[in-house]
Amino acid sequence: MMIKSRRSFLKVAGIAAIGMGAAPVMNLAASEPHGSAQPKTEKNEETLHAERWGMVINTSKLNEEVVEAIKEACHKSHNVPDFTIEPDAEKYSGTRPVRDGQEIKWIWDEHFHYAFPDKEDEFLAEKFHDLPFLVTCNHCKNPPCVQACPTQATFKREDGIVLMDYHRCIGCRFCMAACPYGSRNFNFRDPRPFIEETDPDFPTRTKGVVEKCNLCAERLAKGEQPHCVEASEGAIVVGDLEDPESEIRTLLAEHYTIRRKQSLGTEPSVYYIV
Amino acid sequence: MLEIAIQGSKKYWLWIVLLLAVMGAGAIAYADQFLNGLQITGMSRDVSWGFYIANFTFLVGVAAGGVMVVIPYYLHDYERFHRITILGEFLAVACLVMCLLFIVVDLGQPIRMLNVLLYPTPHSMLFWDMIVLNGYLFLNIVVGWKVLEAERNQIEPVWWTKPLVYLSIPFAIGIHTVTAYLYCGLPGRGFWLTAILAPRFLASAFAAGPAFLIILCYIIRKFTKFDPGWEAMQTLSKIVCYAIIANLFFFACEVFVVYYSGIPGHLSHMQYLLFGLHGHNMMVPWMWSALILMGLGAIFLLIPKLRNNRALLPVTCAMIFFGAWIDKALGMIAGGFVPSPLHHVNEYAPTLQEGIIALGVYGAGLFVLTILYKLATTVKEEVRG
Ligand code: SF4
Ligand code: SF4
């Protein structure tokens, strides 16, 4: 109920930028003297829709270069801080050194036995050991993070994307304890000094809130493919899991795929072709 | 009644000033955390809860332990606890104050704290935890205060304190059960994912709470003219004894299941705590100390001669209290988060600043406890004298 009413509020307010699929047309400059002062909302015809968004990662098509490109494309455009850079000494004087382990990453590579700890196998094919497995938020069908969040700052949209409201999050980090995939990040500090070039199309975050991959909801709303898909040279496909005609379903039909920690019942929406 | 708190001996004021100083230091350290974020802690992406939540968990237990004097007195008319029920209730109040403070200092955005009320979310256990914690706090304040006031005026407490007392009993069980549910309902955290977590929490709570109460009784006897009664303390020590044995037994069950089934997702955490994992063994000496402290404590309490030894009893209680603290505070957090969901082993240790903030919270709790106990003991002295 709560989620519903908030959704419709967002719709009315026309915050299409975060992917509600409706672009506001606020023609203030041209407002006629007798015209209505109400902002108009209008459907963006380009918006990509799905009943349930999912992702297929073809690991054999990945190599180190592509992986780096993917990570960079995602992190740069989402203003994810890079703690390896030196912050601008003038603008951000007195920035403290960064502690180990407090980093932020939305998508990154892991060895097979870390990405799939329950599928560890001492006789696993050699090539598996060196392949980079990209991991990110799985946009679970039954997301424990959503269940745990006491403020609904983490919520699941009707199309399956698990999103964050950075302005509502209280930073209790219950969702981080709940996520079985280590997909969530906490802003232990103000991230802004560590963003080399701020992308104006996406909000920066403040200290004390949690963040993670949003499946590029802001791009899907504009009819564009996620950054990782574009940078992946065909290794990543994002599409509608519920649509039998979709490319992603074809891939699932043609290949043997695995998901992370399937036995937990969270129903990850990210599939791996190995 | 509060005027009692501002009349005291030199020692009393010295203690108050000391506590204020500790709280002040904590506040300064916290101000920095407030401005610069939780970067000042030793927490990380992998170990996203630390010393604050650890102490929170433990203190919920001590607060719940107060019910161990309430039940015998109110449900079984055990007269010997008459004098100390108020101590149990006020101990619960002080502990809950600390619990709430620990939650607040742990938040990344404490200013938005009320979002939990603005967007009530019944499917989140944190929502329920907030309700039971505040409810139990409220009940204990009201009941403790009203009963003490009545005692001072030498009249019967108002009738409605009784139902509130009865209500506080399920609330006491509730606060610790729900706190356990915060942990044990999470898929993918093998160490916490066990149905015995809530019972184990309760067992260790019913040991740690009364153990601390016994120590407090000793302190009260030393510094005031009020005598809580040796028999009452003896009964309490038997409660501690049974509870700590139950806790150890539950732990043994846990160890058996984990090692006999051998499921890696569950085993690796226990392995990390007890023997170290991939060369990381920071927790090993702590965990074994905890087991030894609790085990020895149980033995000391089991043997009547040792239990009745007035000089040994406070030491035994301190051992059990400290052992339970390591087990439930440090062990619960470290065991739960190490190894991480991806089976990386990143250990956690609090920073000095984190420790100072935690100390400040303990200072605040002891401050509340001191004031409340001062009221209680003075009223009791007045009435008897
Ligand atoms: S992967 Fe983690 S953060 Fe993403 S939806 Fe699942 S539980 Fe939530
Ligand atoms: S940290 Fe934020 S998103 Fe995560 S559970 Fe708490 S309020 Fe929700």
The pLDDT of residue B340 is: 95
Question: Where do the structural domains in chain A lie, given as residue ranges?
Answer: 53-81+102-273
Query: What distance in angstroms lies between residue A239's CA and the mean position of ligand 2's atoms?
Result: 27
Q: B121, A151: Cβ pair inside 8 Å?
A: yes
Query: What distance in angstroms lies between residue A268's CA and the mean position of ligand 2's atoms?
Result: 20
The pLDDT of residue B385 is: 57
Nearest Cβ partner for A177 among B116, B186, B265: B186
Span B108-134, pLDDT tens digits: 999 999 999 999 999 999 999 999 999
The pLDDT of residue A19 is: 42
Query: What distance in angstroms lies between residue A137's CA and the mean position of ligand 1's atoms?
Result: 5
Residue B138 distance to chain A (closest CA, Å): 22
The pLDDT of residue A9 is: 46
Nearest Cβ partner for A266 among B39, B187, B265: B187
Q: Does residue B231 carry a pLDDT above 50? A: yes
For residue B180, which amino acid is it? A
State which of A183, A186, A210, A214 you would mutate to test the pocket of ligand 1, scoring each by most atoms of that ligand within 8 A of its C-beta.
Answer: A183
Tell me the percentage of chain B whose pLDDT exceeds 70: 100
Average pLDDT over residues B182-207: 95
Cβ(A191)–Cβ(B108) below 8 Å: no
Rounded alpha-carbon distances, angstroms, from residue B290 to A63, B284, B320: 48, 10, 8
Nearest CA in chain A to B128: A150
Interstrand relation of A133-136 and A107-110 (parallel, antiparallel or unpaired): antiparallel
Tell which residue, B253, B171, B172, has the closest CA to residue B205. Answer: B172
Name residue, tokens 């101000």: B31
The pLDDT of residue A35 is: 53
Question: A160: left (phi > 0), else alpha (psi -120 to 50), else beta?
Answer: left
For residue A117, which amino acid is it? P
The pLDDT of residue A37 is: 65
DSSP state of A270: E
Average pLDDT over residues B147-176: 92
Query: What distance in angstroms lies between residue B346's CA and the mean position of ligand 1's atoms?
Result: 21
Q: In order of start, what are the domains of chain B with their CATH numbers?
A: 2-384 (1.20.1630.10)
- Atom nearest to A154 CA in ligand 1: 8
What ipTM does the predicted assembly reach?
Answer: 0.92
What count of CB pairs under 8 Å joins A to B? 160
Residue B350 distance to chain A (closest CA, Å): 12
Q: What is the mean pLDDT of chain B?
A: 94
**Would you mind telling me the total number of residues written for chain A in this entry?**
274
**Would you mind telling me the total number of residues written for chain B in this entry?**
385
The pLDDT of residue B5 is: 81
Residue of the nearest CA to atom 2 in ligand 2?
A: A169
CATH of domain A53-81+102-273: 3.30.70.20
Name residue, tokens 């019967």: B156
Nearest Cβ partner for A181 among B265, B341, B346: B341
Tell which residue, B217, B214, B213, B206, has the closest CA to residue B240. Answer: B206
Q: Would you say the CB of residue A215 lies under 6 angstroms from ligand 1?
A: no
Backbone phi, psi, residue A123, to 5°: -105, 15
Longest dimension (CA), chain A: 76
The pLDDT of residue A34 is: 54
DSSP state of A115: H
The pLDDT of residue A1 is: 42
Exposed / middle / buried, residue B213 (Cβ in 10 Å: 0-12, 13-18, 19+): buried
Residue of the nearest CA to atom 7 in ligand 1?
A: A179
The pLDDT of residue A36 is: 59
CA A187, A190, A196, A197 dihedral sign is positive
Question: What is residue A210's three-state secondary structure?
Answer: strand
Question: What is residue A155's three-state secondary structure?
Answer: strand
Residues with CB under 6 A from ligand 2: A 148-149, 151, 153-154, 169-175, 210
Q: Does residue B216 carry a pLDDT above 60? A: yes
Helix (H) or strand (E) segment spanning residue A96:
none
For residue A49, which amino acid is it? H
Question: What is residue A272's three-state secondary structure?
Answer: strand
Span B233-252, pLDDT tens digits: 999 999 999 999 999 999 99
For residue A2, which amino acid is it? M
From first to last of its 274 residues, chain A has per-residue pLDDT tens of: 444 454 454 444 444 444 444 444 444 444 445 555 677 777 788 899 999 999 999 998 999 999 999 999 999 999 999 999 999 888 898 889 999 899 999 999 999 989 998 887 777 777 777 788 999 999 999 999 999 999 999 999 999 999 999 999 999 999 999 999 999 999 999 999 999 999 999 999 999 999 999 999 999 999 999 999 999 999 999 999 999 999 999 999 999 999 999 999 999 999 999 8
The pLDDT of residue A130 is: 78
State which of A140, A141, A147 you would mutate to test the pocket of ligand 1, scoring each by most atoms of that ligand within 8 A of its C-beta.
Answer: A140
Tell me the percentage of chain B whose pLDDT exceeds 90: 87
The pLDDT of residue A11 is: 46
Among the bound ligands, name the one nearest to the CA of residue A268: 1
Query: What distance in angstroms lies between residue A145's CA and the mean position of ligand 1's atoms?
Result: 6
